Amino acid sequence: MKLLDTKLLKVLAFCGVFLLLAAVGGVIALVVLSLQSNNVICADSTGCKNSTSLQNCDCGISAAATSRIIGGSDVTTGQFPFQVSLQTNSSHICGGTLVSCSWVLTARHCFSGSTTPQDWVAVVGTLNLNDVTSPNVQKRVLKNIVYYNTSSSNDNDIALVELQSPVVFTEFVQPACLPLDTTMLTVGQTCTILGWGLTSEGGSPSYNLLQAQINLYSNSECQNLLNTPITNSMICAGVPNGGADTCQGDSGGPLLCADNETKKWIVAGITSSGHGCGRPNSPGVYTRTTDFNSWIRSYVFS
């Protein structure tokens, strides 16, 4: 009887220790896995928090070898995997730029119709707005809409929206780079605009994502041309003869400029306003993202 008891105890103790070890092992495995998948799925790595170099940040990478919108051409698969369509009731309202697995940068004026996050769906991973069945498409309801401030002026046309759950980074879904504290934009520099907006003034939208190349203007020249105040938190871009521009429906989408050091795509501007679309000597007005760098980073890398 005594012997049995000890044996039983030993067996029980063995089982107990075994179970404990298994449990501890399981917890460790889970933690390691979730840390790993955090790194793999969402690259908000320390490399992206660096505000002076993009070298160690997995952002702004185009799958294509090279790098209507008005005067646009079709975007190819994986070329700009950060383009977002912001939709209410399954219709496209505005563009946006994926800047992390949970945050999309867009224009404040996009929410004039509804400021309720749950009314909005962010669609990523597609070039064609009719293609709702593609396995590459990821859709997320919004959890949060953050405005830079509450004034209703045309200035500060910027908003950050948070997704209800993070998207998974794939070949078709990647973040663009945020500007650096050192990002220098030069007048005349060629940058790229993207969108599903109208392909001519008063015309119809495009089902395929279009791109066009335009050049940066100085604020003073832009203000003279448009005869309207261009503040320090705006940047203008266009082509002198017109014919390449953003238009209604492109708002919120990116003005992308290549980083000098790494050639990765930086979201340098947010499509905001203009006089008509594609007119000669009438550049489009974009929110100057570099002016909001610390505000954006405080949410995206918090």
88 binds ligand ARG (CB under 6 A): no
C-alpha distances (whole Å) from 127 to each of 77, 82, 102, 145, 229 are 7, 11, 20, 24, 35
Point out which span in 29-37, 112-120, 160-168, 243-251 binds ligand ARG (CB under 6 A): 243-251
Nearer residue to ligand ARG within complex by CB, 112 or 302? 112
Nearer residue to ligand ARG within complex by CB, 76 or 215? 215
Point out which span in 178-186, 212-220, 268-276, 291-299 binds ligand ARG (CB under 6 A): 268-276
246 binds ligand ARG (CB under 6 A): yes
**Torsion sign across C-alpha atoms 130, 132, 133, 135:** positive
Among 248, 262, 281, 293, binds ligand ARG (CB under 6 A): 248
Active-site residue, 157 included: yes
Among 44, 58, 162, 245, binds ligand ARG (CB under 6 A): 245
Question: Measured from the CB of residue 64, what is the shortest distance to ligand ARG in angstroms?
Answer: 24
Among 44, 58, 162, 250, binds ligand ARG (CB under 6 A): 250
Among 38, 273, 281, 293, binds ligand ARG (CB under 6 A): 273
